[in-house]
Structure 1
Amino acid sequence: MTQLIPAKQLESSSARDGTAGKIQPRSFTGRYRRLRIVGGTVLFALYFGVAWMNWGERQAVLWDLSEKKFHIFSATFWPEDLVLLSAILLICAFGLFFLTALAGRVWCGFACPQSVWTWVFLWTERLAEGDRSKRIKLDGAPLSFNKVARRSYKHGLWLLVSLVTAITFVGYFTPIRGLVGDILTMEASGWAVFWILFFTAATYLNAGWLREKVCFHMCPYGRFQSSMVDPDSLVIAYDAVRGEPRGSRRKDSEPRTDRLGDCIDCQMCVQVCPTGIDIRDGLQMECIGCAACIDACDSIMDKMGYERGLVRYASERQLNGGTSTLLRPRLLGYFGILALMVGLFSWGVASRPLVTLDVERDRGMYRFTSEGQVENSYLLKLTNKSNRGQFLTIMAGGVERATVTGPDGITLAPGEKTEIPFSIAFHPADIGSGTTDIVFEVSTEDRHGELVTETSTFIGPQIN
């Protein structure tokens, strides 16, 4: 049976650092912080930049709900492609499972939007109110002009970031250039204003006020992460063998001569943690894997002249003196499922028809023409789902002795839908049993030519 690294529920950070329930992370530097800044910058650039990119004559990424089209660069998805869109979510889910089995909650610490936006809000908070000690002092200070001014500056920055975030988010569902123009001219629709205000408030509350509480109480990921890691998964861990017993000492002292471990009990790992936990207590549900404690501990080890890595990314097996391996059933299983789903999704996107045909027969049974023929009427619904114009050839099979009224072909613009009336008339003697299958065929004539068919029924009087 696979041994799981246990998750622990401990006392709140306020009991340890006296911040009255509010976590005030300390600023720090280090390699993982630099990596997080680079990653966050890339994610911000993608989020805010892709919304303004064009692909041909349209927005590159646009979930156009009014037209029921979902544009993702060169691909356009329609409501009938919902299975493919759902597959994207499943791929993301198994990608997250794979990352968790490999390196714990690395997604949460470096790429989760909640974490990225919280780091940005913390940066603006430091800009307005100063570092941790100044913020704690300001929290306990009586109301004054300085306190009101600093708080107003902070909340103004928070609201500005939230507003830009909300406008960009809504801009993925309605063309952002037109949306911004309508906002500047105060001509935006009521629904657009509502959703902008809604997502502004959501961003402001989640990243500014709730912060770690979203991870604790609203996100289920932390609660089931322990079921996805194993003794070989890399998690942020404290090397208790090397660090214990803890204790303060002089900078140039040799800890082993004083019967102490390398941990000087400086609390820096707790003070920099955005969720306020003590990593020395082991893997906990609240840990988001941001590696802030690693950077803080490494800086202290450098100052003390000790080897880095007292807090580091390590597996349970490595902490116990063993060697981790990537070739393990859980990780290979997640990777295999992920690769299979990516392959199936790619095949589904490549093989999906870019021209669709739906045939509706007139609800009336049949009617007689002036020439004495039996006539049925049909409505051909055609959709060009590609991003280029298409000339479509229309044919009906099984009508060699019938009179057909309808076009032989039609040109559809990219993304265009149309309905074509069609009628077929048979002499009563040619109907046979009273029903005949009619096969409608629509084909394209370019180098990407494809053929779609739809079978309908011709109904006539029963001849004995």
Structure 2
Amino acid sequence: MSQNIPLRNIDTNPESSRLMDKIHTRSFKGYFRRLRILGGALLFTLYFGTVWLTWGDRQAVFWDLSEKQFHIFGSTFWPQDLVLLSAILIICAFGLFFLTVLAGRVWCGYTCPQSVWTWIFMWAEKVTEGDRNQRIKLDRAPMTAGKFLKRTQKHTLWLLISLATAVTFVGYFTPIRELVSNLVTLEVGKMALFWVFFFTAATYINAGWLREKVCLHMCPYGRFQSSMLDQDSLVITYDAARGESRGPRKKGADYKSDGLGDCIDCQMCVQVCPTGIDIRDGLQMECIGCAACIDACDSVMDKMGYSTGLIRYTSERALEGRDLRIVRPRMLGYAVVLFAMFATFSWAIVSRPMLTLDIEKDRGLFRYNAEGHIENSYVLKILNKSQQSQSYEIGVSGVDGLHLSSAATGTVGAGERVELPVSVSVPPESLGSEVSTLNFHLQSVEDPAMKLVENSKFTGTIR
């Protein structure tokens, strides 16, 4: 795939140059816009709605950093499950690779938070300042009371959206109901207030001011996407063979006799682009695959009575007149790896032990008890990851004549961690070496299948 970068016109007028650098997008309608709105509405519902769901007596999705517990509906994850979080990130990365091979930067155009929030901020801009031409005219106008009022309304909307985004995000780490109540009564803690302010500012700056600059200069995805594309990847493409040569004409005119193509050079595809590129210059790094240019061009083609699809999702192979191949070895390879990783992750979630046992041996080597047996001390750290209290039994094996000093049963509450000091004694004649291996057995009373074995060392002298 070629990566043609469009050249911008150079204007020596500083004011004119400043206005050209600022992207003013035009309003448009179309199939892909409706699809993007539907996807954005779903994401907004998940993001702003999930935080208010409850599960039992707690928030359904809650990352409790103070207790080092991550609650996701009926499951609780601990720092010991960090490998599962790493697996999720790897699966998401491979999923992104799969989507890129299939349809380019479709993730960026439809579901990337930067894109979704930018579209929302652009909507707020249109509501308060008008459509593209009105905003350009407003930028050129001197500051008046009317202009100041419109700008104030726009920035107020931006700040309200940013604040709602920030409070929701912090609400996944601090109980959302308590956080909102404390914000209203001005009793919020300094740390929570800092993060609310931080994410409000970050959202306001990224979606309101930086916008496409985040995609062009801060996001690395556009830089390496070309290495994942091939001749069969579906990307947004201008059909130059059909569209060239460009030129204006009246509807119904015999433009073919004048040597013109279907492109009437109306610039609509450029005016709706959120990154300000001309897709007619070829596939470019700045293209985020949002398909706004497709909707705009199709609407113009309809008005002119031409067939749609002058700009469309297609592949380089199909554009050259060859067969479109959706299923191909490279994409199948990504799909197989992705499926295998997801299946392995699902198995790891289902089979992860709800009881864990960590053993900490006392630093002292050993001692003799009143019976003349060699004794070692341990601290058993038992963690219950489930949402119900668990009764457990503890056993020890590995050396003949072992005796466990403390009670062999106990109870650990839901999501609790207990430390149980125990002593293990052995008759000296039973030891075959100065260092022996002990096996501590932990088993749930309620679910005998929930059991595990952890090893430790027993030290002593031999006779």
Shift, 1:256, TM fit: 1.3
**Matched residue type, 2:124:** T
Checking the alignment, whether the CA contact within 8 Å between 1:12 and 1:277 is kept in structure 2 is no
**Cα distance in 2, alignment partners of residues 260 and 448 from structure 1:** 79
**Cα distance in 2, alignment partners of residues 226 and 53 from structure 1:** 41
**Cα distance in 2, alignment partners of residues 115 and 436 from structure 1:** 61
The equivalent residue for 1:219 is 219
Shift, 1:12, TM fit: 3.8
Write the mapping of 1:272-421 to structure 2, written as runs, cut at 5 A: 272-398=272-398, 401-421=401-421
**Matched residue type, 1:217:** H
Judging changes above 3 Å, is the alpha-carbon distance between structure 1 residues 394 and 246 closer, same or farther for their aligned structure 2 residues? same
1:11 aligns with 2:12: no
1:119 aligns with 2:105: no
The equivalent residue for 2:233 is 233
Checking the alignment, whether the CA contact within 8 Å between 2:429 and 2:462 is kept in structure 1 is no
Deviation per residue, 1:279-309 (Å, 9 max, x gap): 1111011111111111111111111111111
The equivalent residue for 2:444 is 444
**Cα distance in 1, alignment partners of residues 71 and 143 from structure 2:** 51
* Secondary structure of the corresponding residue to residue 19 of structure 1: helix
Q: Which is worse superposed, 206-215 or 237-246?
A: 237-246
**Matched residue type, 1:392:** Y
Deviation per residue, 1:342-385 (Å, 9 max, x gap): 12211222222221111111111222323433322111000011
* Secondary structure of the corresponding residue to residue 277 of structure 1: coil
**Cα distance in 1, alignment partners of residues 346 and 335 from structure 2:** 16
**Cα distance in 2, alignment partners of residues 312 and 199 from structure 1:** 37
- Return 5+ residue gaps in structure 1 as ranges: none
Shift, 1:6, TM fit: 1.3
* Secondary structure of the corresponding residue to residue 66 of structure 2: coil
Aligned length: 459
Checking the alignment, whether the CA contact within 8 Å between 1:13 and 1:277 is kept in structure 2 is no
**Cα distance in 1, alignment partners of residues 422 and 335 from structure 2:** 51
The equivalent residue for 2:173 is 173
Checking the alignment, whether the CA contact within 8 Å between 1:13 and 1:276 is kept in structure 2 is no
* Secondary structure of the corresponding residue to residue 196 of structure 2: helix
Q: Which is worse superposed, 362-371 or 105-114?
A: 362-371
**Cα distance in 2, alignment partners of residues 187 and 12 from structure 1:** 52
* Secondary structure of the corresponding residue to residue 71 of structure 1: strand
**Matched residue type, 1:179:** L
Checking the alignment, whether the CA contact within 8 Å between 1:14 and 1:22 is kept in structure 2 is no
**Matched residue type, 2:410:** I
**Cα distance in 2, alignment partners of residues 429 and 222 from structure 1:** 70
**Matched residue type, 2:24:** Q
Judging changes above 3 Å, is the alpha-carbon distance between structure 1 residues 278 and 395 closer, same or farther for their aligned structure 2 residues? same
Shift, 1:214, TM fit: 0.3
For the aligned residue pairs, the C-alpha RMSD in angstroms reads: 1.8
**Matched residue type, 1:9:** I
The equivalent residue for 2:93 is 93
Checking the alignment, whether the CA contact within 8 Å between 1:375 and 1:423 is kept in structure 2 is yes
Q: Which is worse superposed, 19-28 or 325-334?
A: 325-334
The equivalent residue for 1:150 is 150
Checking the alignment, whether the CA contact within 8 Å between 2:379 and 2:421 is kept in structure 1 is yes
Checking the alignment, whether the CA contact within 8 Å between 1:248 and 1:266 is kept in structure 2 is yes
**Matched residue type, 2:223:** R
**Cα distance in 2, alignment partners of residues 40 and 353 from structure 1:** 37
**Matched residue type, 1:100:** T
Shift, 1:102, TM fit: 0.7
Q: Which is worse superposed, 66-75 or 207-216?
A: 66-75
Write the mapping of 1:135-214 to structure 2, written as runs, cut at 5 A: 135-214=135-214
**Cα distance in 2, alignment partners of residues 386 and 367 from structure 1:** 37
**Matched residue type, 2:146:** N
Shift, 1:387, TM fit: 2.2
Judging changes above 3 Å, is the alpha-carbon distance between structure 1 residues 271 and 412 closer, same or farther for their aligned structure 2 residues? same
**Cα distance in 2, alignment partners of residues 32 and 289 from structure 1:** 11
* Secondary structure of the corresponding residue to residue 287 of structure 2: coil
TM value normalised by structure 1: 0.95
Judging changes above 3 Å, is the alpha-carbon distance between structure 1 residues 90 and 434 closer, same or farther for their aligned structure 2 residues? closer
Shift, 1:402, TM fit: 4.2
Checking the alignment, whether the CA contact within 8 Å between 1:12 and 1:21 is kept in structure 2 is no
* Secondary structure of the corresponding residue to residue 162 of structure 2: helix
Judging changes above 3 Å, is the alpha-carbon distance between structure 1 residues 220 and 398 closer, same or farther for their aligned structure 2 residues? closer
The equivalent residue for 1:423 is 423
Shift, 1:435, TM fit: 3.8
* Secondary structure of the corresponding residue to residue 43 of structure 1: helix
TM value normalised by structure 2: 0.95
**Cα distance in 2, alignment partners of residues 23 and 187 from structure 1:** 41
Shift, 1:462, TM fit: 4.0
Judging changes above 3 Å, is the alpha-carbon distance between structure 1 residues 14 and 272 closer, same or farther for their aligned structure 2 residues? farther
Shift, 1:251, TM fit: 1.2
**Matched residue type, 2:96:** L
Shift, 1:156, TM fit: 0.7
* Secondary structure of the corresponding residue to residue 19 of structure 2: coil
Q: Which is worse superposed, 437-446 or 194-203?
A: 437-446
**Cα distance in 1, alignment partners of residues 308 and 88 from structure 2:** 40
**Cα distance in 2, alignment partners of residues 120 and 382 from structure 1:** 48
* Secondary structure of the corresponding residue to residue 438 of structure 1: strand
Q: Which is worse superposed, 95-104 or 336-345?
A: 336-345
Q: Which is worse superposed, 366-375 or 44-53?
A: 366-375
**Matched residue type, 1:92:** C
**Cα distance in 2, alignment partners of residues 387 and 83 from structure 1:** 21
Shift, 1:213, TM fit: 0.3
Name the % identity. Answer: 59
